[in-house]
Amino acid sequence: MALTSFLPLVVAAILCLPIALSVVSERVDRAVTRVAIRAFGGYIDEFRREHPDRQIVLRMAQFPVTYREYGSKTMAYAAIAAIVASILGLYVSWALLLALAVDPETIREAVPGPVEFLANLGGIPALSPWELFALFLLACSTLGAVTGALTYWLRWWYPSYVADNRSRNIETALPSTIAFIYALSKSGMSFPEVIRIVAQHESTYGEAATEFTVAVRHIDTFGVDIVTALQHMGRHSPSAQFSEFTENLVSVLQSGHSLSAFLERQYHEYQDEAESQQERVLELLATLAEAYVTVFVAGPLFLITILVVIGISVGGTVEPLQALIYLVLPLGNLVFVIYLSTTTNSLLPGGSTPEKPEIQRPAIADDSAIQSDGGLDLPERTRMEANLERLAYQRRIKTLRDRFATPIATLLERPNLTLLITVPIALLAIAWQLPSAIAGFDVGGIEAVFSSDRRIALQWDMHSFDVTAIENVVIGSMLFVLVTFSIFYELHRRRINAIEASIPDLLDRLASVNEAGRSMILAIDHVRDSDLGQLGDELDRVWADVQWGADLTTALKRFEARVRTRAVSRVVTLLTEAMNASGNLSTVLRIASNQAAADRRLKRERGQVMVQYMVVVYVAFLVFLFIIAILALYLLPSVPVGADAPDAQGFGGITEAEMEAYEVLFYHATVVQGLLSGLIAGQLSTGDIRAGAKHAAVLVTLAVIMFAFI
């Protein structure tokens, strides 16, 4: 093949290169944007009025681009996609012509029996140059037009998808955000300062706090009053509930009515709305659980049974069974996991973990003045800065030393780190056993035969790899990873749940002590000896930080960084901000206590209902396991094998190799189904797929035990 044949591919790669580089390089992205605006900016401006909804959706999605810029890049991407697809269509057409030009008898000999009908497509007659040109032109134009139109549609659909996702997240976080605003307003803080503080805590209050950054940006950048800023924020919000809340808030501010009374009413209304929303989510999860059992448990079981019966009758179903068990089942469950995550995570309040908060420390100068002997250029840097820098280095070393000195505590705090240890060990065990599985592997088992007309025939001896020789170590390694991770994860989750369960009691007791006239520091010292379980230990650490010279805000921030849950982040944020506004925190603490108790009640009710779905998955897997056991114990042994069969490929018998293949596939089907069903059960019951590790370990163990006795 001549090098000029690859010239169109080089052109396609050159066209795609700037788009790929623009993802990682801001300079390239600016250049691409500049070229796109020059090429298509006039067209976008001309038809701007015909698509007003697109401009609104871009604002709702909070894309940091103008309509002209986004539209121009969309046109440029669509044009490039159409050209690249047309070039690829040229090669696809050429490959199809080569494949279809093969003699039908050659195809019939190369393909399995069930797909022999493909041989009828071969042996097409020779085409004239004009016919070839017309065929290539049709294929290229069709594929290019479809790809370009699809790219154009996807680029304009994506902002609406982001806006809808933001709308769900805003409505989920709205009750807690309103409670936060209500508590800060009761502490005596001015309302402009309240919304400014809310906007600073996006990691804690999510998209609802992000919306308030719009109002703060308009106040700081354009100098508008707070009412105008709130009106603009509400008009461009993707959430109808948030827009309604903003309109009512503006009306209260303009009329001069009691802001605290309005926020209290809104808080109770949205709390009731959160309960009704949870009921809708639970109904959705019930539907999804039934769909999962039907499609991914009963469906594969039905197909396995049918394929086995067909295999006994006419043979040739081992390959479809392998495709079903090793490909269709994992991919189908992966799609279900992704859909379940995107559908329910934004609807379940308080489920995610916020980012680790930053603890404010004194500013430390850079390393430019460090001398080669380890000293400092003191005329340019003060001795205090030098001491702070040494302290920073000591903290970094201490963090690493503590993590390696107490590995169990580190893994209990961050159970995901167990995978960094167990997965390499599992892979090493599999690699150690791998030579026994490929013993006798013939390197020449893959043979390429070139004929005079450049057709290629591939022959591969698939029996050179023994799966049964390595399956035990693979399953054992998988159980080792699952069991180890589930132990540390469950201990970590129980500790976090115990801390969150004690938060309402803590806030109530702090409010009572604060009402008696004690400061917040003394209140924490008073309640830390109470029976608060795991939370009492954390309060002791907070008190130890205070005794060692840290202010209460820093000590609470460290507590937030250790626990790293959204419920704790909300409490710490509210306390630290309210303490800056007033010393009388009893009212704020009561509001926070009611909010924490309401969130805890919703989480407990959600957990009680979602356990039912976990039980449904367990029962479905046990039925799957029972049917597979019946097939392996009674159906296969009753089928004539080898010489006893009337016909090795006829009705009523199978070969000995097929019998062994079916037994192995039955075993692997139960293991794969147990692993996937366990992960899904954990995600359905808690909303976190990591909770499914223990269920997966249990179900896989049941499958292994069953086949050990068969």
Tokens representing residue 399 in the block? 């963090």
Q: Which amino acid is present at 59?
A: R
Nearest to 558 by CA among 580, 538, 530: 538
pLDDT at 420 over 50: yes
Q: What is the pLDDT of residue 583?
A: 57
Residue pair 348/169 in contact (Cβ under 8 Å)? The answer is no
Count of H-run helices and E-run strands, the chain: 25, 2
First to last CA, the chain: 57
Strand partners for 641: 654
d(CA 4, CA 97): 19
Q: Flag the least confident range among 51-65, 71-85, 139-153, 515-529.
A: 515-529
CA dihedral (189, 192, 193, 194) positive or negative: positive
Token pair 């959705």 is found at 284
* φ, ψ of residue 41 in degrees (nearest 5): -60, -40
pTM of the model: 0.73
Token pair 């019939």 is found at 108
* φ, ψ of residue 62 in degrees (nearest 5): 55, 45
d(CA 596, CA 175): 11
Contacts 24+ apart (CB under 8 A), 518-526: 519/583, 520/552, 520/575, 520/579, 520/583, 520/585, 521/546, 521/552, 524/552
Q: How far is CA 158 from the centre of its chain?
A: 18
Residue pair 250/178 in contact (Cβ under 8 Å)? The answer is no
Strand partners for 68: none
Residue pair 399/423 in contact (Cβ under 8 Å)? The answer is no
| Residue 220, number of CB atoms within 10 A of its CB | 11
Token pair 């309060």 is found at 539
DSSP, collapsed to helix, strand or coil, labels residue 432 as: helix
DSSP-assigned states of every residue in 261-284: HHHHHHHHHHHHHHHHHHHHHHHH
* φ, ψ of residue 557 in degrees (nearest 5): -65, -35
Q: Is 140 or 14 the better-scoring residue by pLDDT?
A: 14
Apex CA 262: angle with CA 260 and CA 263, to 5°?
65
Burial classification of residue 648, based on how many CB atoms lie within 10 Å of its CB (0-12 exposed, 13-18 middle, 19 or more buried): middle
DSSP-assigned states of every residue in 133-181: HHHHHHHHHHHHHHHHHHHHHHHHHHHHHHHHHHHHHHHHHHHHHHHHH
Q: What is the pLDDT of residue 158?
A: 93
Q: Tell me the mean pLDDT in the region 459-468.
A: 50
Q: Helix crossing, 692-709 with 586-630: angle to 10°? A: 20
User: What pLDDT band is residue 488 in, cutting at 50, 70 and 90?
Assistant: very high
d(CA 236, CA 223): 19
| Residue 656, number of CB atoms within 10 A of its CB | 12
pLDDT 10s digits, 115-126:
444 445 445 555
Q: What is the pLDDT of residue 459?
A: 36
Task: Tell me the average pLDDT of the chain.
Answer: 78
DSSP, collapsed to helix, strand or coil, labels residue 256 as: coil
pLDDT 10s digits, 214-238:
889 888 888 888 899 999 898 888 9
pLDDT at 647 over 70: no
Apex CA 591: angle with CA 585 and CA 597, to 5°?
130
Residue pair 636/659 in contact (Cβ under 8 Å)? The answer is yes
pLDDT 10s digits, 134-183:
766 777 778 888 998 999 999 999 999 999 988 888 888 888 888 888 88
* φ, ψ of residue 554 in degrees (nearest 5): -65, -40
Beta-carbon contacts of residue 96 (< 8 Å; ≥ 6 apart): none
User: What pLDDT band is residue 99 in, cutting at 50, 70 and 90?
Assistant: low
Q: How far is CA 650 from the centre of its chain?
A: 49
Residues in the chain, total: 710
DSSP, collapsed to helix, strand or coil, labels residue 2 as: coil
The topology (CATH level 3) of 499-602 is Receptor-associated Protein (1.20.81)
Domain ranges of the chain: 3-164, 173-273, 276-353+418-438+466-493+604-709, 384-413, 499-602
Strand partners for 456: 450
pLDDT 10s digits, 426-451:
999 888 887 776 654 443 333 333 34
pLDDT at 552 over 90: no
Token pair 């009388």 is found at 584
pLDDT 10s digits, 297-356:
888 888 888 888 888 777 778 888 888 888 888 998 888 888 887 766 654 544 444 444
Radius of gyration of the chain (CA): 33
Token pair 């697809």 is found at 85
DSSP, collapsed to helix, strand or coil, labels residue 51 as: coil
Q: Most distant CA pair in the chain: distance in Å? A: 100
Residue pair 700/475 in contact (Cβ under 8 Å)? The answer is yes
Q: Flag the least confident range among 40-49, 133-142, 376-385, 441-450.
A: 441-450
Tokens representing residue 420 in the block? 């960094």
DSSP, collapsed to helix, strand or coil, labels residue 195 as: helix
Percent of the chain with pLDDT over 90: 11
pLDDT at 103 over 60: no
